[in-house]
Amino acid sequence: MAPTSDDSAAVPVRLARIGGDGIGPEVVDAAVRVVNAVCDDRIEWVGAEMGWRTFERTDRALPEVTVEILDNCAGALFGAVSSPSHAVDGYRSPIVELRRRLDLYANVRPLKSGPIDTVVVRENTEGLYAGRERWEREGEVAIAERVISRRATERIARFACELARSRAARRGRGARLTVVHKANVLRRSDGLFRETALDVAAGFPEIAVEEQLVDSMVYRLILEPERYDVIVAPNLYGDILSDAGAALAGGLGVVGSANCGEGFCLVEPVHGSAPDIAGRGIANPIAAVSAAALLLERVGFAADAARIDELVAACRKSGPRTPDRGGAATTEDVVADLLARV
């Protein structure tokens, strides 16, 4: 289709694709093919690299040129990187560094499976992962400080409320926000998180707001996951809830997540580089495809994102299954099934 000058939809959105290591490139390639089949020529993909292989070749896990490419893109689809299990001089996880450099403060993990349709929104920049650790008493005691700021809590709460609002509009039903904390014990830090998040949510009268202590949150999420809509939590709680939720929603091979900042979004499958199956053509591409749908939604292609979610749901229900899902299908079989449904 020839682009026309008066049609803004004909101007492609530029997105980066970063395969990384192990099965990363295999599943990213699969996801790009599905996106292109749905979006035609409205996406322009730019390749970039990072990870362990990049480090071995260039001494940098995250090359500056990759950061420059990302600066000129609306978002990125990332596969996975391998990290050595021992400390290696000069090596730092490029994904952790990117989250910090691009200020990707919201980690978003949708959990969709049967009646479950929930999103965990995790604060991604502070909390117990602020990295403030020290020794006391000559190494006999280790102390970790937990940082909760009003500013970071305000922006994660606002992000969660806006997400709840747009989900409600899309799904044609009321929005619910669950604020997770442990303010009965951590009175100041979680107290500030609780109070700030509830204050922000009060500015969204159409959202039904509730609060839940983190331990009972895990319990209830497992017992009745279908009752939740958007869940917002500080860093560590959100991390744990996200992974518990991933198990509920079908496992590593099918769940994607997004790291969002003000003007940029980096999405990834929840799984790692799976070196045990890399190169064998049997990686499940569904997690990467679901991640790509999240990216499309963030860059304004909500209808295409919904379309991909439908394809994925249909494929999960009646399509071929890779070995992690108990079948014998290949990555290519799953991609072919998704493409046939387009």
Q: Which residues bind Mg ion (CB under 5 A)?
A: 239
Binding partner of 76, given Mg ion, ligand NAI, none, CB within 5-8 angstroms per partner class: none
Q: Which residues bind ligand NAI (CB under 6 A)?
A: 23, 27, 80-83, 95, 252-253, 268, 271-277, 283-284, 287, 322, 324
Binding partner of 274, given Mg ion, ligand NAI, none, CB within 5-8 angstroms per partner class: ligand NAI
- Give the nearest distance from C-beta 232 to ligand NAI in angstroms: 22
For Mg ion, the closer of residues 126 and 239 by Cβ is 239
- Give the nearest distance from C-beta 340 to ligand NAI in angstroms: 21
Binding partner of 281, given Mg ion, ligand NAI, none, CB within 5-8 angstroms per partner class: none
Binding partner of 126, given ligand NAI, Mg ion, none, CB within 5-8 angstroms per partner class: none
**How far lies 132's CA from each of 107, 178, 192, 316, in Å?**
21, 28, 19, 42
- Give the nearest distance from C-beta 327 to ligand NAI in angstroms: 11
57: buried, middle or exposed (CB in 10 Å: 19+, 13-18, 0-12)? exposed
Contact 121, 106 (CB under 8 A): yes
Binding partner of 268, given Mg ion, ligand NAI, none, CB within 5-8 angstroms per partner class: ligand NAI
For Mg ion, the closer of residues 202 and 222 by Cβ is 222
- Give the nearest distance from C-beta 276 to ligand NAI in angstroms: 5
Binding partner of 252, given Mg ion, ligand NAI, none, CB within 5-8 angstroms per partner class: ligand NAI
- Give the nearest distance from C-beta 257 to Mg ion in angstroms: 9
For Mg ion, the closer of residues 28 and 246 by Cβ is 246
For ligand NAI, the closer of residues 83 and 189 by Cβ is 83
- Give the nearest distance from C-beta 274 to Mg ion in angstroms: 15
Give CA–CA dist 163/177, Å, rounded.
10
Contact 41, 12 (CB under 8 A): yes
Give CA–CA dist 101/88, Å, rounded.
21
Residue nearest to ligand NAI (CB): 272
For ligand NAI, the closer of residues 245 and 253 by Cβ is 253
- Give the nearest distance from C-beta 139 to ligand NAI in angstroms: 27
For ligand NAI, the closer of residues 26 and 229 by Cβ is 26
For ligand NAI, the closer of residues 36 and 330 by Cβ is 330
Give CA–CA dist 252/246, Å, rounded.
7
Q: Could you count the other beta carbons within 10 Å of the beta carbon of residue 124?
A: 23
